[in-house]
Amino acid sequence: MQQLHLGYSPCPNDTFIFYGLIHGKVPCPKIQFIEQLEDVETLNQLALQGQLDLTKISYHAFGHLRHDYALLHSGGALGRGCGPLIVARDHTTMAELRGKKIAIPGRLTTANLLLQLHSEGFEDVLILPFDQIMTAVTQGKVDAGVIIHESRFTYPQHGLTQVLDLGQWWEEETGYPIPLGGILAKRSLGAELINQVDTALRQSIEYAYAHANEPQIYIKQHAQELDDSVIRRHIDLYVNTFSIDLGDEGIQAVEGLLSRAEARGLIPPCGLPLFAA
C-alpha cells in the first residue's frame, strides 16, 4: 500500500470534492491518502518545501512549482463569477488605492497575482489569514482587503463596500474563466500513478454530486461559516464542470494566466508541460 500525503483546504468546496476520495467511496487500489487540511497559503508553502505528494494549490504558486509538480485535470477551482473581491470601508477606486496598504490572503495566492496583474502600484501588502482580512479593513489596519472564500458572501454584513471584482476584471480583460486553484501531484510519482489519482478524484466529485447530503457532516466539521445556505452557495460557486475536468477552455485559461504572470516577471519561466507525460 503506497501512502500519499494529500493537502487541501478546509473550505466547503474542497471538503466536498475530496470527501469520496479520502473516505474510500471511490476505487483507488493500493493507495492510502494521508490528508492534511490547511489554508491555501500554508499549502502553497508546504508544496514549495516539497512536503506534499498531492495538494490543492493557488495557480500563482503553481507558477513557481512547475518543475516539480504537474497539474491534474480534476479537482480545481476555476470558473466565472467566482474571483476575489477588493473591499474597503468607504467608496473608493483602484486609482485611489494605489500605494495604499492592502491586506491579501497570501503572497502566492491567485488573489494577490490578480491584484498585481491588474496594474502596478499595489506592492504595499499585509499578509493575513483570509478570515482575518475583513476585520483588518473594518478596524482601519489596512486601506482595503482582497477577500476570498466565504467572505465573498458575508462582507456586506461587516459594513464593507466592493471596490473591484478581480474575477470580473479578468474575464472582461481576457475572455477566460478565472483560474483560482488547481490540484498538483509531484512529477516524481510518475504519469501512471498521477493519472490513477486524477481519475479517482473525478470519481470523488461525481460521488459527492450523486450523494449530496452524505458529505455534509464532514464539510461542517471544517467550515469557517456554518450557515447551510452560505455553505451551499460556496460549493455551487467553486465546484462546477471545470472541477470535474478542466477541458480545453480551462487549460487555455490556466496557460493565459501563467503567460501573463511570466511576462510581468511575477513567476519564473518553465518549459515543461502542465500535465504529467
Report pLDDT digits (tens) over 54-67: 999 999 999 999 99
Task: Mean pLDDT check: name the lowest of 114-118, 169-173, 175-179, 226-230.
Answer: 226-230
Question: Is residue 276 in a domain?
Answer: no
**pTM for the predicted model, two decimal places:** 0.91
| Domain coverage including residue 13 | 2-79+177-263
What's the chain's average pLDDT? 94
Q: Is 111 annotated as a binding residue?
A: yes
Determine, yes or no, domain membership for 272. Answer: no
Gyration radius of the chain's alpha carbons: 18
127 is in an annotated binding site: no
57 annotated as belonging to a binding site for a ligand: yes
* 165 vs 230: which has the higher pLDDT: 165
Beta-sheet pairing, 125-127 with 102-104: parallel
Residues 183 and 60 reside in one and the same domain = yes
Whether the pLDDT of residue 150 is over 80: the answer is no
Q: Is the pLDDT of residue 146 over 80?
A: yes
**Cell digits for 82?**
467566482
Residue 223, classed as helix, strand or coil, is coil
Which of 141, 174, 207 represents a domain boundary (last residue)?
A: 174
Q: CA dihedral defined by 212, 215, 220, 221, rounded to 10 degrees?
A: 180
Average pLDDT, integer, range 12-40? 93
Q: Are residues 109 and 69 in the same domain?
A: no
Q: How many domains does the chain have?
A: 2
Q: Which residues participate in catalysis according to the annotation?
A: 149
Inside any domain, residue 8: yes
Q: Find the Cα–Cα–Cα–Cα dihedral 209, 211, 212, 218, rounded to 10°.
A: -110
E-strand ranges in 89-246 read 102-104, 125-127, 144-147, 161-165, 178-186
What pLDDT is attached to residue 237? 85
**pLDDT of 81 higher than 70:** yes
Q: Are residues 205 and 254 in the same domain?
A: yes
Answer whether residue 163 shows pLDDT above 80: yes
The answer to whether the CB of 31 falls within 8 A of the CB of 197 is yes
Contact, 18 vs 49, CB < 8 A?
no
The grid coordinates listed for 29 are: 487500489
Q: What is the pLDDT of residues 85-130, one digit of tens each?
A: 999 999 999 999 999 999 999 999 999 999 999 999 999 999 998 8
121 and 149 co-located in one domain: yes
Contact 168, 259 (CB under 8 A): no
Point out the domain boundary residue: 152, 174, 196.
Answer: 174
Q: What angle do CA 159, 114, 79 make, to 5 degrees?
A: 85
Q: pLDDT tens, 194-207?
A: 999 999 999 999 99
SS3 54: strand
Using pLDDT thresholds of 50, 70 and 90, give the confidence band for residue 225: low
CATH of the domain at 143: 3.40.190.10
* Cα 238–Cα 55–Cα 164 angle in degrees, nearest 5: 40
**Contact indicator for 33, 4 with CB cutoff of 8 Å:** yes
> Is 268 inside any structural domain?
no
If asked whether residues 187 and 58 sit together in one domain, one would say: yes
Q: Give the 3-state secondary structure of residue 28.
A: coil
Strands (E), the chain: 2-8, 31-37, 54-58, 69-71, 77-79, 85-88, 102-104, 125-127, 144-147, 161-165, 178-186
Instruction: Name residue 52's amino acid.
Output: L
